[in-house]
Amino acid sequence: MASVIHYEIEDEIAVVTLDAPGEKVNVLNETFLRQLEDTAKELAQKKGLKGAVVVSGKKSGFIAGADIRQIEGVDNPEEGRRLARQGQNILKKWGEFTFPVVCAIHGHCMGGGTEFALACNYRIASSDASVALPEIKLGILPGFGGTQRLPRLISLEKALDIILTGRTVRGAEAERLGIVDRLCEPGELRKEALKLVRDAARAPKNFADRRKNKTRGLRALLLEKNPIGRAVLFSIAGKNMQKKTGGHYPAPARALEVIREGIGKPFEKGLEIEAKALGELITTPESKNLIHIYNLSQRAKKTPFEGIEPTEIKRAAVLGAGVMGGGIAQLLAAKNIPVILKDIKDPAVESGLDSARKIFSKKLKRQGKDESAIDKKMELITGTTEYKDFDRIDLVIEAVLEKMSVKQAVLKECEPLLPDSAVFATNTSALSVSELQSASNRPQQVGGMHFFNPVDKMPLVEIIRGKNTSDQTVATLFKAAANLGKIPVVAADRPGFLVNRLLVTYLNEACLIAEDGVDWPSLDKITTDFGLPMGPFRLIDEVGIDIGAEVGKTLCHAFDHLQESSLMRKADKLGLLGKKGGKGFYTYQGGHSSGPNLNIDAQLDLQKERNANDD
């Protein structure tokens, strides 16, 4: 059996390296866990050790998590409970030595990897590190001690948020919350980890006091240090969870119950409660289906263009500084790609830049970054009304008005200014990429790159192959989307492509039902009660009524069997744009819905239809 773990002794400190041979990432599979156990036994018997540091030999990160295939293969609760107890017992050994153990975390540290790090005495992370307990997204819960260790280590309120959402915590936030004890630059990780373990060996009390300070204060005293306060926290967490899931997913509720029950009991009893819950969840249909979705998303990220070298995107430009344009520019800058954001009017450019700044502000402040970090990212976005410096651009993403004549016009304006190798991508929702190519002198380098709103949150990007789009261009757009953290899906140049072919048909049908006299708010309630995150009319507002109307017209003209509703076109003519305009089927303040638009029934003659239906 090839060794996935090896160690060496440096000045009475064991440096343990995790490095599964032939694999891109470290995964906590059966072999890995067995060798973790064997290594722990060996280190426990070593004479004269004063500490240990655990590092990863993988460039990508520390540990990617548990083996999904093993989780998927469990078909009875007792087997799930047994596997959880096995993992718990092995990881527990790494926190029970007579000397301190420091986990040195870089890159991604997910799921079981985070649970292993929590089991060790101390943690240091590089600034590029990210930790998470994402098991809830697979319909299970952290089963190697995560539900018991994290709430005992940091603020209970923050621990509940991290476990119940499965969200990723970046390095700076992890240090601020107390998940890691120190933060350092990536190139200094090994050196600083060795320094930390020696400091911990000399003065462990200093670290214990420092951790306590992170959970002290009036709020902690009132809410976390007494049973009544904890009950309030659990009640709030339960209400927030119910609001997000609608009660359709068993894992968040079970995780909350496990934390609530375990926090007041001895640690070992808490582990038993956790293991039992994992066994119950791991065989549910919700878990099996969520794992299937995860596997599909991972498969979608693998390029279908082996042997084709995509063009590297070093600089980009976005044409159109609206909601989509500003979002796309922010996404590119977030990945450290300099981007030009162009529109025809200065106010539009300023609006796009403001949209990008707001997204950065929300994300970076959550990571503990200040205004200077936001400014640094915004420096990567150049707002302009001119085609300046386009001779250095590798990728242009067009996000202008959803009209073919406008899109062809900007393509003709832009193309002569670009390098010969540049790729032009349209963000159209449904217009023909092949028709757009007719305005190009190099149609093989024109394709579709359809993002969804909000760009920073929606994971899917459609890559559209027009009649003349080359494999090289499709491969470049596919790789660019993947590098932006998206899931790229290649679709044919057909009306509606993939998503809108399904989505807009659904939205159009909802509008037809409303035209038949059915109360549209009740349709939204029915669909959210069923389990969808929002109803069709709330979704129309999110997409944009103007976009929905245009795509609906395109689809209904393309397919004779579809009857076009006039509802979205009527609303569009009245200037009702949806969320981006502040009013649609709902009204909006500060980007949030403030309730149904009470005037829209009269504006669209829906009340008349409803009365006729009642008669």
**What positions carry a catalytic annotation?**
462
Cα separation, 40 vs 439, in Å, equals 66
Among candidates 508, 520, 509, 513, which has minimal Cα distance to 586? 520
Lookup: tokens for 609? 């239809």
Q: Give every CB contact of residue 421 below 8 A, 6+ residues apart in sequence.
A: 311, 394, 445
Give CA separation, 543 vs 109, 120, 240, 487, in Å: 35, 46, 25, 19
Beta pairing partners, 307? none
Segments in 264-335 forming alpha helices (H): 267-281, 285-300, 323-334
CB 193 within 8 A of CB 10: no
Please report, for the chain, how many H helices and E strands are present, in that order.
27, 19
Lookup: tokens for 29? 């599979």
Give CA separation, 383 vs 319, 355, 393, in Å: 10, 12, 15
Residue type, 399: A
Cα separation, 588 vs 566, in Å, equals 23
Cα separation, 292 vs 470, in Å, equals 32
Lookup: tokens for 383? 């707002």
Residue 545 backbone class (left: φ over 0; alpha: ψ -120 to 50; beta: rest): alpha
CB 149 within 8 A of CB 115: yes
Cα separation, 207 vs 124, in Å, equals 12
First to last CA, the chain: 78
Cα separation, 132 vs 321, in Å, equals 34
Spacing of C-alpha 392 from chain mean position: 31
Residue type, 402: E
Among candidates 541, 503, 493, which has minimal Cα distance to 520? 541
Residue type, 136: I
Among candidates 383, 337, 378, which has minimal Cα distance to 361? 378
Cα separation, 429 vs 526, in Å, equals 27
Q: Give every CB contact of residue 260 below 8 A, 6+ residues apart in sequence.
A: 230, 234
The position carrying tokens 């009470």 is 598
Spacing of C-alpha 460 from chain mean position: 11
Establish whether the linkage from the previous residue to 596 is cis, with ω within 30° of 0: no
Lookup: tokens for 355? 């949209």
Q: Give every CB contact of residue 257 below 8 A, 6+ residues apart in sequence.
A: 277
